[in-house]
Structure 1
Amino acid sequence: MTNACTPPAGPGAYRSLSTLVLGSSSPRRRELLGSLGLEFEVCPSNAPEPPPAPGEAPEAYARRMARAKTMDVAALYPQSAVLGADTIVVLPGAPGRDATVLGKPLDEAHALDMLTRLSGRGHLVVTGCCLALPGRPEPLCFAVTTEVFMRASTRQELAAYVATGEPADKAGAYAIQGLGGFLVERVCGSYTNVVGLPVTECVAALVSLGVIAARRV
């Protein structure tokens, strides 16, 4: 188990009212949560990541994975608020066919295949989030969906991007906030959701459940 204390990224707009744990190893989620000015610990989940069940909607799958990861960490921190998330990339299916969930690429060839399928078309990025609190029987789980449109890139461009190594651990094989930003033509919805954590919705959940509050000025 990795357990690292994360200091605030800066003054931020919020303060913690209780102990908060981020149940994720993602440095992007760590940075986004830290940008709020919160103190929190990081404990990656070891929960398995099975593929979607037959007929399972992408949003339901993302929520289920986020819940599994959150509860895995919450068992280790029963007196803390635990926030977990899971991000998936979804290619809408043709009429009468199910959508395709793209996870992390297995190797460079798989990454190139994913990026080729995404090139020149739109797809959905769905992040499931889950917040577990001490004494609360059921965690709060929700999903946020953002539509992303990719530019039509050449195979040489995609291969060169894959060669940078950035796609290796990214759902859909690209990082919008990194070198892969050139692939994206436009975003409809939450940008931070595509990065890995829908900050607006997470703040609303954390505030409503009394985990954080606006910093006093």
Structure 2
Amino acid sequence: MGIILASASPRRSEILENLKIPFQKRTSSIDESNYKMDNPLELVKILAYEKARSVRLPQDEDLLIIGADTIVVLGQTILGKPKNAEEATTYLKLLSGKAHSVYTGLAMIKSRDEALFLDYCETKVFMRSYRDEEIKAYIQTKEPMDKAGAYGIQGFGAALVEKIEGDYYNVVGLPISKLIEGFQFHGMDYFDSYHP
């Protein structure tokens, strides 16, 4: 069975590549701003599902389509991708010295019968107290601009993190533990797809 990743995220692609999972990439065209919800768990699951569904083509045969969406939640506030450097600065100041949750919704849909695995993963991230100068220098790297919460744990942003509780790959954007559950749900064994 072929695998489609419904994401433009280089980080999600890299995770699948590191797992030696062969896949093709299709970019979802959904407008995330059309989805407004107070419940972050429902939001990430719906966005993941809509992303996967949006790349499905009528001629697709026997494919597994993977959609994912990641958000950062501080208290009751959802922090998506910052629109500009000012918003990134605001997000990073809010996160400094505090714990927050990172949620990733994961949808895995079979193209043939539309069998659906839909779940989410939560990871707690504890940020150290960092200085305004560090925020400014970090924003100058441009790394925060395409990441939920305005930081990337797999890059320079790791210097802002004190510790995490949960799946590291969830914070990067694709929780491996849930991905394996989804493969098993669809009757696939991860090691069967391994091609060195």
Q: Give the TM-score, by structure 2 length.
A: 0.92
Give the Å deviation of 1:211: 3.9
1:143 aligns with 2:126: no
Cross-structure match for 1:47:
30
In structure 2, the residue matched to 1:165 is 142
Asked whether the equivalents of residues 33 and 199 of structure 1 are also in contact (C-alpha less than 8 Å), the reply is no
1:206 matched to 2:189:
no
1:78 pairs with 2:55 = no
**1:52 Cα deviation after fit:** 5.1
Contact 1:74 1:132 in 2 (8 A): no
Q: Distance in 1 between matches of 2:96 and 2:16?
A: 30
More helix by share: 2
**RMSD of Structure 2 on Structure 1 (CA):** 1.8
CA distance in 1, matches of 2:126, 2:34: 24
- 1:75 shift after superposition: 3.3
Looking at structure 1, the residues matched to 139 and 58 of structure 2 have their Cα atoms a distance apart, in angstroms, of: 37
How many residue pairs match? The answer is 193
C-alpha separation in 2, matches of 1:138 and 1:173: 34
**1:30 equivalent among 6, 9, 13:** 13
2:2 to 6, 15, 19: 19
What is the CA–CA distance in structure 2 between the aligned matches of 1:76 and 1:58, rounded to whole Å?
A: 31
Residue number among 143, 156, 172 corresponding to 1:179 in the alignment: 156
- Identity score, percent: 37
Cα distance in 1 for partners of 2:59, 2:66 equals 11
CA contact (8 A) 2:89 2:135 kept: yes
Deviation track 1:1-42 (CA, whole Å, cap 9, x = no partner) reads: xxxxxxxxxxxxxxxxx1100010111111111122111101
Aligned CA distance change for structure 1 residues 139 and 75 (closer, same or farther; 3 Å): farther
Give the 3 Å change call, closer, same or farther, for CA 60–172 of structure 1 in structure 2: same
The superposition leaves residues 32-85 of structure 1 with CA deviations (integer Å, 9 ceiling, x where unpaired) of 11122111101110111026535x310100001101101001236632110010
| TM-score normalised to structure 1 length | 0.84
Runs of 4+ aligned residues of structure 1 deviating over 4 Å after TM superposition are none
- The letter for the 1-side match of 2:39 is A
**Corresponding residue SS for 1:89:** strand
- Counterparts of 1:52 and 1:27, CA distance in 2: 23
Per-residue deviation, residues 164-195 of structure 1 (Å, max 9, x unmatched)? 11111111000000011000000001100000
Q: Which runs of 5+ in 2 are unaligned?
A: none
